[in-house]
Structure 1
Amino acid sequence: MSLTDEAIARIRALIQSGTLPPGAKLPPEQQLAAELGISRSPMREAVKALAVARVLDVRRGDGTYVTSLAPAVLLEGLGLAVELMHGNTLLELTEVRRLFEPVATGLAATRVTPDQLAEIKGHLDAMRAVREDVELLNKHDAAFHHAVVAATGNEALTTLIDGISSGTLRARVWRGMVEANAADQTLAEHAAIYAALGEGDANLAQAAALVHISTTERWLRRVHGAGQTTDTPDEDAMHSSP
């Protein structure tokens, strides 16, 4: 273990033990280094690394603080990592989404409030209205799914699913859908999810979400198997949804 890794481990231990709780201000660099028995250089690098990981927040002229450590903060970088993935890794992420999101949708059906249901319907209506505009369609598609999972009230689950649902992949799929005149299918699948949520039927909601995500996965596998990029899908592979 390098000195920097050791410094990271010791700071994390202070946070995990509650010695430095969320929102706490770290002692000055020199003092903290002395307390942990580590030189200032690796301590400085450790703070930088933990700041990148959103564990620490370095405020210029004020000091360094432990962040809220909320899932939305700690998992923020997941989406960026997903955007950089391609090929088989994207297929793996789609599998992960298929495993998580239908279950989350079923849970949402048991917890969704009238206001949340109205928000979901608003995005569904917007998708129908802008079906020829790929950019807006993709925007409301992402918002639709975020609102559904957010209805679970589980911040960690919502952040995780948001992170693995690549905005770039959604846009590419939607572009292919619109160009192939196959958008009706995916809009119908979104409508089925909304209807199941409105009925409070967890099993039906989970099944509707599974069908919806599985068609996206099949599309991606066909395109990948044909040796194409997801930027230029063929019409035969366009019977899917984002």
Structure 2
Amino acid sequence: MTATDEAADGLRAMIAKGELTPGQQLPAEPELCARLGVSRGSLREAVRSLAALGLLESRHGSGTFVSALRPGQMLPGFAATVDVLPLDGLLELFDVRRPLEAQAAALAAARADERVVARLREVQKRLASDLGHEALINAMAARDPAAAAAAATAHLSQTEVRLRRYAPLPDDGPAAG
């Protein structure tokens, strides 16, 4: 692990433990460097990477602050990371996505109103999206959290199966000869 990785991990741990809270300014660089055991250069690089992920905000003339830690602020950084993942890394994400998206779909179905469902149907028509999306929208229209969770899980499973078709076959070692 590089010093920059150590600094980033240390800052993430401080946020996770509540030592640094949303909106709070980071301590001065010398204090953080001493606490994390890294140089200023490594700390600055870690701060830049965490800012790119939406965890920190650098405010010109004011310092660096922990962001509000809203998912919407962090998703663009996550999306940029996903875009460059190799296929095996992308496939690993399905283990995380499955429970998260099933729960999110269930909550959305429980909270959806006619306006939301109508908007989803408009987007579906425009994108000509698949039957998996249609099942999810229908579950939301019925305000059925269990059906929405099942539809999200089924759709992710179908997507994973399609992606696995592109995965290279496991290497069985040197060819016998």
Taking structure 2 as the reference length, what is the TM-score of the superposition? 0.67
Give the Cα separation in 1 of the matches to 2:96 and 2:32.
40
Q: For 1:204-226, what per-residue CA distance to the aligned partner results, in whole angstroms no more than 9, with x for missing partners?
A: 22222333222222222233367
Residue equivalent to 2:166: 223
Residue equivalent to 1:212: 155
Give the Cα separation in 2 of the matches to 1:212 and 1:37.
45
Residue equivalent to 2:39: 42
Q: Could you tell me how far 1:198 is from its partner in structure 2? A: 0.4
Q: Could you tell me how far 1:3 is from its partner in structure 2? A: 7.9
Give the Cα separation in 2 of the matches to 1:15 and 1:223.
36
Matching residue's letter, 2:42:
E
Residue equivalent to 1:200: 143
Counterparts of 1:143-154 in structure 2, within 5 Å, are: none
Residue equivalent to 2:64: 64
Report % sequence identity. 31
- Going from structure 1 to structure 2, the CA distance change for 1:120 and 1:58 (only over 3 Å counts) comes to same
Mapped pair 1:96 → 2:96: yes
Residue 223 of structure 1 aligns to a residue in which SS?
coil
Q: Could you tell me how far 1:200 is from its partner in structure 2? A: 0.9
Q: For 1:5-39, what per-residue CA distance to the aligned partner results, in whole angstroms no more than 9, with x for missing partners?
A: 47984896489555x54334456x5xx52x56849
| 1:112–1:197 CA contact under 8 A, matched in 2 | yes
Residue 189 of structure 1 aligns to a residue in which SS?
helix
Alignment RMSD, CA only?
3.8
Aligned residues: 164
- Going from structure 1 to structure 2, the CA distance change for 1:124 and 1:220 (only over 3 Å counts) comes to same
| Larger RCO (alpha carbons 8 Å, 6+ apart) | 1
Q: For 1:96-122, what per-residue CA distance to the aligned partner results, in whole angstroms no more than 9, with x for missing partners?
A: 333432342223211213332222122
Give the Cα separation in 2 of the matches to 1:212 and 1:11.
32
Mapped pair 1:53 → 2:50: yes
| 1:190–1:212 CA contact under 8 A, matched in 2 | yes
Residue 93 of structure 2 aligns to a residue in which SS?
helix
Q: Which moved more, 1:43-52 or 1:104-113?
A: 43-52
Residue equivalent to 1:73: 73
Gaps spanning 5+ residues in structure 1: where?
A: 129-140, 142-185, 228-242
Mapped pair 1:107 → 2:107: yes
Residue 39 of structure 2 aligns to a residue in which SS?
helix
Give the Cα separation in 2 of the matches to 1:14 and 1:214.
33
| 2:124–2:133 CA contact under 8 A, matched in 1 | yes
The structure with the largest helix share of the pair is 1
Residue 69 of structure 2 aligns to a residue in which SS?
coil
Matching residue's letter, 1:52:
S
Gaps spanning 5+ residues in structure 2: where?
A: 171-177
